[in-house]
Each structure stands twice: as structure tokens, then as C-alpha cells.
Structure 1
């Protein structure tokens, strides 16, 4: 009875019954839901009112007044996030993009030369015009000649050779927008896009994926030197074939051709004639116009023998399946970075990656064997901006581990990167451990982190080391110890990391049947994990060290040096290395403990340099080669499988 009286008194003091308060809360909730659902429709219905507001700020304030407080907070957070991304993009372009040079508003004006020539032969049909554009504005125009296709090279493309002057103008006019393009115009005024690729000191190659029906120029015919030579060029705007003729000032003997590539020709052409052919009276190609000296009224052309030799040399440097993994350009040969890709290529160079071969970026080629390739299921952290759910595999890893195990992994697994100046040399994963004598936190990782980029068998102690523990802790590391044969490295911290849980590994532990390979991303610091089993080595397995064991955990290069842990308790079972097969080699915990137990940290003994645990006199028998990154696209495969369509005989 007393409880009932207190209840009635409480209701009287508040003026409403309990049922009325419940009804009121439900009504308020329905009103809020209706307000959220009608946000878009209310904005649309008042669209004309918004347009009549005088300023952008007043329109924004009006829109914000129509939303709930929760929606306002979400919008403000989204606006702030967009500002952050815009600032990051500006910083990215400022660091890696082209210089923000002023752009001229004046378009290039073609100048004619000589006379209008007949355009009805196969040879003159191979002369094309090439124009450089920034958007819709012409910046430069010159000529070129069509080249033939050799062998079974893929993809099927149209190729043209021209003067290096086109490359000079291309590089000179690059700006922050990086919106340059090449347009090719044929003798019948058909036009299509082209791409600058390889070039040397005199010539450049323009390639197009448009199948142009143009007869290639013949550079293999026997040349009979005549007195008069004719220089051709094609105007881009009108398509008119221009020509001018005269006799060379020098005798074109065999000895002269060996010593000199460029031949002076006292018959000047304009820019429109650069890259055009020089022909004798018999109709044979003598050379290619390269540059012109206006003051001396002389055109210099690259004679046929030198031109053919340079083209054959550049042909060998075109990317294909035989040279993808070790693709490099020799001295004197370069490749143009495609328009729109300069910032991306400069960023890749800062990461230590090779420059893409010609045409690979244009066809969306991929850079393989990078340190940014993920593996397994990803695990984020608070305020992580990465959309890692789309990148993560469908494998369930972290839900199968105990919460305490996951927390320990988050606080003891770090990402490491080594740098040669401002260029990254290597990235991998490391494990924070307690040193056996002092309890000092140090990082156990792979010695591949500090191996020389010139000679993988040597340790480069001059490399700078950066340690990342998300979300925002980045400190410098110092190489303390390394073991060349077991590929072990111990890194000390120049500044302390906070909130860490280093593991004490210097005790015995049984090898677990089920394990988890752990890695941490080099850029965003996301954790990666994949589950597998410890398996026995087979007789045919070739490993860089006989003490290595195998697990079925499949990792990428960023997982090198990362821990292999027990799936039950998360204890350290070994250190992972990289294998290109379905199994991953790892160095067992017992071997690592045996190697490190009898050693002191050099910094604790007052030494200021790293120590090789093996000693200088020991013969190093193991080699730890890591696959290098390379560019790839299936279009450039030399031997594609044949596909037969229709019915096939059995």
C-alpha cells in the first residue's frame, strides 16, 4: 500500500502518468524520424528560396537550419573531412606534381616552308603531322614518319618516329594541371591520339593504339646518293605536304657517316618540317630532319644508317614478358612520363619503385610485388581513415582470436621502413620484444630491412629507419644487431613508444599446430592476419636456410619480419619470411632465442655502431633475396595462348 501511495505521489508531482510519458517519448521519436526522412524533400521543396538567397554562406546557413542537431554534426564532420582530404591532395601535388608555372594564353602558329608538294605516293603518305595540345590549345606541331611492325609484338599499335624537339616542347610546357596530349594527323586528315614513349638525343617514338592504315617508311633500301635532296613536312591544320630541296654541303661518304650522325643541309625548314623525311631524287629515304639553325639557314638531318641503328636499339627496349622483371633503360635513352601521371610516378620513385615502361601506365598496367599489397583480413584502429573493408579478404581471423590476444598484437606489432635519403629502400613488419637482460623494448625484424639496394648480400648501416605504431606514433630506429645467415635484425628506439606491450620471448614454448601470420601496412599501419598450419618441409622444397620451417599462411612482402603467433594464446612462434609459393617460410622461435641469448646490445656497451652476431670472419652461406617490384600488363605478353572459336575436331 505504501509503495502504491509513493507511486501515485510521484506521478502527481510530475503531472503526467507513466503511460503518458511513454506515449510522449514515442511521439517525439516519430517526429524526429519523420524530420530525418523529409530532409531531402524539404530542401527540394524550398529549392527556389535557396537560390534567391544572396550569398553562399546564407544558403549554407539556411540548409543547416533545416536539419536536426545530429544531422548537423554529421554534416560538419563530413565537411571537415573533405577539407582534410583537399589539403592532403594539395600537399601531394605540391611535393610530387609538376611545378605550378604560369600558362601562356598564346597558341602555336604554324609557319609554312618551301612549296606544296604532290601527295600521291606511298612514301609521302607515310608522312604524318604531330601536334602538342594543352586542352584545346595547340602548343607545338611538327612532322613524323610511320614505322613498320615487327614480329608478334603485342599490343598491335601504330608507331611513328619524329624529332626529339617534340619531347623538349612537351617537357617545357608541363604544369601542375598536367593535361598535355599528342594528336596524330594522317595524309587523309584522319586524326587520333598518340603517346610519347622512348626517346634519345635525336629521335622520339610516338605510339597510338589506333590501327592507322599508313604505309611504313622503308629504311632498308640501297641508297644511291644524289646531288639534290628534298625535305618534307606536313602542316597539321591544313594537312598540306610541304617540301624544299637543295644539295648537301658535305660529301656523304661512308667514313663521314661513321663519324657524324647529323648532316647539314642548306635548306631550312620550319618547326612543321622537323621529324619529316629527307629524300633523294630516286625516292629513297636519306634521313630524318632533327633540328634547324635559322641564322645559318641550315637543317640538320639524321642520316639513314644512324636512324636505323637507333630504331633497332629502341625496339629492343620495348616492354615484353622477357624483360618485365628487370626492365631498365640504358644511359642515353629515356621514357616520357605520360600526361596526368607525373605526380603518381614521382610518388612511386620516392617509394623506391621503378619507373613504368612506355605505354604501361596508359593501358592501366599494374605494379606487382610492392610493399602495399595486403594479405589476409585487415584490422583497423580508432580514427582510421582507410576504407579497409573493401581491401580485406573474406577470411575470418580476428574474431577467432581472444580479445586480449588481439589487444596484445595491436600494441606490439609495428611497421618499419628504411630510407636512403628521401627514397624508401624497404618496408616490413616487426615485433616489440623485451631484451633478455635488461627488459629494454626493442624490435625484432628481418635484416632485409637494412640490406643494401646495390648488393643484397651486404648490410647498409647508413639507412635511416622509421617505426610506425598507429594511430600516430612515428619514431626513429637504430640498427643494433643483425645476423646475416639467419636474416635477423634487432632495432632499438631513439624515442619511447607509449601504450606498448612488448613480449618476452626468451623462454621455451611448444610449436603450435595452428598459427596466425601477422603484418602491418607500410602506409596506413593496418594490421593484417591470416590463419594456417605449421607443415613439414618436403624433399623438393628449396629454402634459403636449412633451419627454416613452413606454414600454410600466405603473406605478401610487407609481412616479412612479422610474427607467426599461436592462435590460442597469441605467443610468438617464429618470424615470417617471403616465399612465392603457397607456403611461407619462417624461422622458429627456438633458433631466434638461441642466436640472441648470448648477445648484449651494442648501445648498452657504449658502442655507436651495429654488430654482426656472426662476426666478420664467418663465411655467410645463406642468401636472402626478396623479389623486386615490376610493372606488368598482359597486353605485352610475347606468347599469348591461342584461342580457337567454333567447333573443334576431337
Structure 2
């Protein structure tokens, strides 16, 4: 097991410490996570009954991973309760071993699991005599500040509107006794995320590696995303994207990976201000979409005539921000050379060589000064 060991050098007044270890508790390693406001505590407690810690160890003991997860469903089956837990696919590593146990103050053995290495999510099944408490899930829609101030875009029962600078909270549970819940407040940043998957968003929350797979919540304690770990910031996948993946799994009996054939970025973050001004003059209502940065040759998007520089606006009548159905002919509305154009795209299944890559920061030594 990795530990957050440190070694002091008395002669220099400095010391070395391992970072990016599982032994780091993010409720104590970052100053902003220590003195929490009452609002942050209340929001965290609302979801804490649904937040679990978990351990994954390979048969040869060469791979281990400690992370967090969220109970998203609980059903009664044959006088017992079967709960579904959402976490990161990183729990499985390259060996794709199973997760051994889940803890919320007490241990539950994992009975079954499924994972998607493309979107890096996993679903675990655990049995219990008493029901576990599922979290309240809320889909995310990113809006700009002007829309939020205007009052014409408001919260709905199934959607949480998120704009740049809004407060959010990353939550996790430590994997050693007493299995404490950890909270990391921060803000949403409507900026480009460095990860391979273009659906990822980012926050300023500071978590540690054991927070991987834990929930991102809003001030009401509702889960709006699943956290991943980077040193510079905390990326997250919106829960509505995750639920779409789960919907496909339940329909097809496996996780499916639609191949649209583009690499893109959020319209507002990937477009220059000069270009946004030109588009706004012609189409003042356009503020969201996907800027096409690259089109894969011979892909469905390529054959539909979509090219780099186009802005995808709607898919089947919905704003493009989610996974689409395999084999389905989709009507795409896009902005091409300052003209609104409609295209039909037939989506295929993605090949393994095109899966997104998910790299976790490795454990390393850093030199620290005396505090």
C-alpha cells in the first residue's frame, strides 16, 4: 500500500515528500479543505451516506487501487438489497481485475462489476441486509453568466445550470479506518480540459488520488459529476453523460462506444473571441455547441461533410453534449462558414485503437520548504 511518507533533511531546513499517493487525505493536505464553512459541511453531509471507499487488488498483488464511489441505485432482491455503485474505471487497472470490497463504515463484498475503459467509468454491485442510500443525481447544463443573470435559464427538476465561477464540492471517502468522508470546495471553470475525452469539464477543487471516482456535488448535495484526478485541477464527467452510458449498457447488455469521428472542444472555450464576435453578429442566439477541431478521415462525420472549423449545434433536436446511439441516423444542425446547415450522420461503433486514454499522475518525490 502506498503511504504518504516524508523524510526531513535537517541540514537544509527542507524535506522531501511523496505526492500522488493513495495515502494522502485531501481533507487535510490542502489548506482550503481544512476550515470548511457550515454550508460546505451541510452540503457534504447530505451526500455522505451515498459516498463509499473501495479497494481493488489484483490476484498477484502487483496492482492495487484505492478510490471513492457513489451509490446511485438500490433494489430489493430475494430478501436482500442490491446496490449499484458508480466509480472510475481506473479501479481495474490494465489487469482488469475485480474490486475486492466497498466500505461505508462497514465492509461489503463486490458481487459483480462492469467497466468502460473508453469513458473510464465502472458500475459495481454489492449485497446488503439493510438498504444503502442512493444519491440524488442532477444532470448538468453549462450556461454563460449573461444567461444566468438574465433569469431566462433556471434550474429544472432534472437539470442543474452551471456557469463559470459557480461553487461546487468534490467529495470522497478515505479507505482506512475510520473511513472519514472528505470534502474539497472549489469553483467550476468553463475552460478547456487537458484530458483526451472532450466531454470532461474542470473545477478548482483539490483532491488526492483516493478521491478518484467520487462525486462532484452542488450546494444542495446533488451529484452532478464523477471526479478524476490530476495535480493541477480536478476534471469531472457530467452525470448526464454517465447516465447516457449506463442507459446504453442496459439496452445493449454492454458498454457501447459510438464513433462520430470528430475531435472537438466546447464552443465557448475553443473559439477565439474574434471568431465568437463574428458568429454572434450573425447568430446572436448561439452560445453553446462543439467546435470541430479535427475530423477523422473516412469517419461518419467525414462522409457527412463535416470539417474542422464547423460548430455542431444540435443532434436530433438536442444540444450536442452527450453520447449518441450506435447505428442511428442522426440529424445534425451545424454552423458551416457562417451558414446554418443540416446533415445526416450514421453513427458507428468505435474501434479499441480509438479509445480515449486516461493517465493518472504517478507517485513522485518533491522538495518541500519548512512551513
Under TM normalisation by the shorter chain, which class is it? 0.5 to 0.7
Q: Secondary structure at the match of 2:97?
A: coil
1:534 has 2:176 as partner: no
Name 2:355's counterpart in structure 1: 621
Contact 1:416–1:468 (8 Å) recurs in 2: yes
How do 1:128-147 residues align onto structure 2 when only pairs under 5 Å count? none
Residues 625/402 of structure 1: CA separation in 2 closer, same or farther (3 Å cut) = closer
Q: 1 or 2, which has the higher strand percentage?
A: 2
Name 1:516's counterpart in structure 2: 169
Q: How far apart, CA to CA, are the structure 2 residues paired with 1:436 and 1:620?
A: 36
Q: How far apart, CA to CA, are the structure 2 residues paired with 1:506 and 1:634?
A: 40
Contact 1:417–1:424 (8 Å) recurs in 2: no
Name 1:475's counterpart in structure 2: 108
Name 1:373's counterpart in structure 2: 24
1:414 has 2:52 as partner: yes
Name 1:558's counterpart in structure 2: 210
Q: Secondary structure at the match of 1:491?
A: strand
1:446 has 2:88 as partner: yes
Q: Which has the larger radius of gyration?
A: 1
| 1:485 maps to which of 118, 129, 147 | 118
Contact 1:365–1:633 (8 Å) recurs in 2: yes
Residues 414-450 of structure 1: per-residue CA shift (max 9 Å, x gap)? 0011012456611111000117999952110000010
Residues 479/626 of structure 1: CA separation in 2 closer, same or farther (3 Å cut) = farther
Q: How far apart, CA to CA, are the structure 2 residues paired with 1:436 and 1:543?
A: 35
| 2:67 maps to which of 409, 422, 428 | 428
Residues 406/537 of structure 1: CA separation in 2 closer, same or farther (3 Å cut) = closer
Q: Secondary structure at the match of 1:600?
A: helix
Q: How far apart, CA to CA, are the structure 1 residues paired with 2:51 and 2:45?
A: 10
Q: Secondary structure at the match of 1:480?
A: strand
Contact 1:374–1:391 (8 Å) recurs in 2: no
Residues 361-386 of structure 1: per-residue CA shift (max 9 Å, x gap)? 685742221112122469xxxxxxxx
1:574 has 2:213 as partner: no
Residues 609-643 of structure 1: per-residue CA shift (max 9 Å, x gap)? xx5543884543311111121345579xxxxxxxx
How do 1:275-290 residues align onto structure 2 when only pairs under 5 Å count? none
Q: Structure 2 length as normaliser, TM-score?
A: 0.57
Residues 204-249 of structure 1: per-residue CA shift (max 9 Å, x gap)? xxxxxxxxxxxxxxxxxxxxxxxxxxxxxxxxxxxxxxxxxxxxxx
Residues 361/566 of structure 1: CA separation in 2 closer, same or farther (3 Å cut) = closer
Structure 2: gaps spanning 5 or more residues: 10-14, 140-157, 258-348
Q: What value does the CA root-mean-square deviation take over the aligned residues?
A: 3.7
Q: Secondary structure at the match of 1:502?
A: coil
Q: 1 or 2, which has the higher helix percentage?
A: 1
Contact 1:395–1:530 (8 Å) recurs in 2: no
Q: Secondary structure at the match of 2:160?
A: coil
Structure 1: gaps spanning 5 or more residues: 1-350, 379-389, 453-459, 606-610, 636-650
